Structure 1
Amino acid sequence: MNISRRSFVALCGTSATLVALRPAWAQQTPLKVAIVMPGNITDKSWNQAGYESIQAVKEKLGVDIAYSEKVVQADQAEAMADYARRGFQLVIGHGGEFQDAAKRVAPRYPKSIFMVNNGQQGGGNLASADFNYKQPGYLMGYIAGKMSKTGKAGWIGGQKIKFSLDLNSSYEEGFKAAGGKEVFTAYTNDWDDIAKGKEAALNQIAQGADVIFPTMDNAVIGSLQACKEKGVYGFGLYYDAISDWPETILQSAIFDIKGAMLDYVGYAKEGKLEGKNYNFNLSQPEACRIGSFNPAIPEAVKTEVAGLVDKMKSGALKP
């Protein structure tokens, strides 16, 4: 049963009783929030989004913050544990690859809550926040199918985690729904290596792909460089990438972690953050939306995409 905090106080008798029952991570003021990121904060992708989001959290919610960047997977559990030992009540692992580390560390530090961005598990003092990746993924694929002249497209990922698998499958579904024939899939097993990102895109372009959707972190730059050099289209991720690649980007799948973090850190500040998964979709545009259309996209296609968005929001279309 869900009741308001005011009602809960009335039921318990005093606000002191409420404080005693609030989770440990909500009792210290101001709230201390740390984020551990796998890549560098200037990658114009996932890690930069994480850095800008924690700064927004500090500014808008008045919490104390700390961050670590370029933390490799072998060191992620210790980095998260270190923040918990230092009294941070909310410790964020920025990426689905932090899921195992958070799961190991959380039981050892019950006074903190551990959140995994792009994660999918929860329970106790372990929470996660992710998006309905399939909705924007399908839309990017649909646009690719309408714009491709060869009927062939490419999709590039860093690692086989839920984020990647959902984006890949929905992109292919949307591409074929729009008349596309074949999607080439590649995993670089590296989120940040620009050279690997470029090589993967060049390989797909050599096979006839004329639209590429790279979904790594810093390595996306290499893929989009290949697209620009070869005169093929690409898609952006996390932000409206047409601002940096005006001739190359067709559209962007914007999973705005800033909106999600402001949401769940706000819950933490109020003592309401739970050990569960928080999922965001196109019905919550502050966190999940698409970007600007390339001028080359016909108005008819834009109208079709708007119709697909409406169907997704209503539940009539579930990629």
Structure 2
Amino acid sequence: MNSKLFSLVALAALLLSACAPAATPAAAPKRVVYLINGALGDEAFYDSGKAGLDNIAKQYGVETRVIEANFDAAKYEPGLQAAVEFADVIFVISYGFEDQLKAVADANPEKIFVNLDTVVQNSKNTITSVDYIEEEAAYLAGVTAALLTIDTTIKNVNTDKRIGVVGGDVDPVVDAFIFAYENGARAIDPAIVVERKYLGGAWDDPAKGKQAALQLYDQKADVVFQVAAAAGLGVLQAARERGLYAIGVDTNQNDLEPGFVAGSMVKNVGLSMEEVYKTIADGTYQPGQVLEYGVARNGVDMVFEAQIKVLPQASIDRVLAIRKDIIDGKLKIERYQP
């Protein structure tokens, strides 16, 4: 009797569940913003993110918008507010404005915030951060520079073992690049001297980048690594002007000054944005994560594809062998600690 009663109850429950409406899935995002503290047109970091945003628009049919603060602090918080009013998903670069981002994210927990290039954690734990392990690729940039400066068969390379770097400003991300660049160079030859120049925040001034690079070339640096966004385009111009060499950053800049850019340390901002957005679209996204993108995950890399290659193939192969050791876990690159 009890068994029959249980069966009837179970059958009734089954029928009721079959008649009940399915749970409504969360609404798919319709609008996406890419909010940057700087400006497009750098042919590097910011433009890489814009390429990713464009691919998201094509693949998912969402409406997108770029909000540029143009390195103007007064424009950043209004930009955040405009992003919240417009978008469901906000990809944001927040250097120097982390507190504003935390406050706006806490006040708008229904919005998806993805912070790019630094780790920002708000009290409601809704911000996901994409943390690029730039040290891995910057180390390879240092190896590249070292192999160039010790090879006097390369045109105009002098006998001094001296390389340079131009940073847009003194900040933890730039210093992480430089720290690893120096380590990579000295792993090849401890006697290599690394000269630094900083631009004091003039990220969008190619003339200042060029002037800094020319000063480094005057100090007998054979190659200069640019870590300076749009200002770094001036570094590449200086390399051509002096008949010496540069290393590009964030995107493949090897063909911007053909024959004078030895390689580029890329940071695949756009790719990481596309990968994060895929999880948002398929429902697997988890807020509050820290997602690390190194060489193995194709978040950063060192590339040599170019119209005119500067380094001999044997040197490129040596860099690529070290790259493989990083991917395989045989070589652990030290992370920068501010």
Bin of the TM-score, shorter chain as denominator length: 0.7 to 0.9
Per-residue CA distance 1:104-126 (angstroms, 9 max, x = gap)? 32111111122221112335111
**Pick from 13, 23, 29: which aligns with 1:16?**
23
User: Could you tell me whether the CA contact under 8 Å between 1:155 and 1:186 is conserved in 2?
Assistant: yes
Deviations 1:12-60 (A, max 9, x none): x99528x4xxxxxxx3334321011233322212222222221111112
Identity of aligned residues (%): 23
What SS does the corresponding residue of 1:186 show, helix, strand or coil? Answer: strand
* Equivalent residue runs for 1:141-160 within 5 Å: 141-148=142-149, 149=158, 150-160=160-170
Mapped to 2, the partners of 1:226 and 1:100 lie a distance apart of: 38
Once the two structures are superposed, what CA deviation does each residue of 1:150-201 show, in whole Å capped at 9, x if it has no partner? 2111111112333212110000011111115211112212211111111111
Give the alignment partner of residue 313 of structure 1, picking from 311, 323, 327.
Answer: 327
Q: Do residues 275 (structure 1) and 272 (structure 2) align?
A: no
Q: Looking at CA atoms only, which structure, 1 or 2, has the larger radius of gyration?
A: 2
Deviation at 1:256, TM superposition (A): 1.1
Give distance in 2, aligned partners of 1:47 and 1:102.
18
Matches within 5 A, 1:187-266: 187-188=198-199, 189-266=201-278
Q: Counterparts of 2:82 and 2:213 in 1: how far apart (Å)? A: 38
What amino acid is the match of 2:23?
A: A
| Matching residue of 2:14 | none
Shift of 1:62: 2.6
Cα pair distance change 1:99/1:159, threshold 3 Å: farther
Rounded to whole Å, the distance in 2 between the matches of 1:318 and 1:100 is 33
SS of alignment partner, residue 92 of structure 2: strand
Query: Is 1:96–1:116's contact at 8 Å kept on the other side of the alignment?
Result: no
| Conserved 8 A contact 1:126-1:276 | yes
Of residues 154-163 and 203-212 in structure 1, the stretch that sits farther from structure 2 once superposed is 154-163
Q: CA deviation at 1:233?
A: 0.7
Query: 2:35 touches 2:91 (CA, 8 Å); kept in 1?
Result: yes
**Do the aligned partners of 2:293 and 2:300 also contact (CA within 8 Å) in 1?**
yes
Offset of residue 98 of structure 1? 4.4
What residue in structure 2 maps to residue 288 of structure 1? Answer: 300
How far apart are the structure 2 equivalents of 1:191 and 1:281?
A: 24
Q: Which of residues 297, 307, 313 is equivalent to 1:299?
A: 313
- Stretches of structure 1 that go unaligned for 5 or more consecutive residues are 1-12, 20-26
Structure 2 distance, partners of 1:198, 1:259, is 29
Change (3 A) 1:52 1:97: farther
Task: Tell me if structure 2 keeps the 8 A contact 1:61–1:266.
Answer: no
Cα distance in 1 between the residues matched to 2:267 and 2:94: 12
1:74 aligned residue:
74
Deviation string, structure 1 residues 245-275 (Cα, Å, up to 9, x no partner): 2111101111111110100111222331421
Tell me the amino acid that sits aligned with residue 182 of structure 1. V
- CA–CA distance in structure 1, aligned partners of residues 84 and 89 of structure 2: 8
Report the 3-state secondary structure (helix = DSSP H, G, I; strand = E; otherwise coil) of the residue aligned with 2:40. coil
Contact 1:192–1:218 (CA<8 Å) still a contact in 2? yes
- 1:5 equivalent in structure 2: none
Three-state SS of the structure 1 residue aligned to 2:230 is: coil
In structure 2, C-alpha distance between the alignment counterparts of 1:116 and 1:267, rounded to whole Å: 15
Letter in 1 for 2:291: Y
Structure 1 Cα separation of the partners of residues 255 and 202 of structure 2: 25
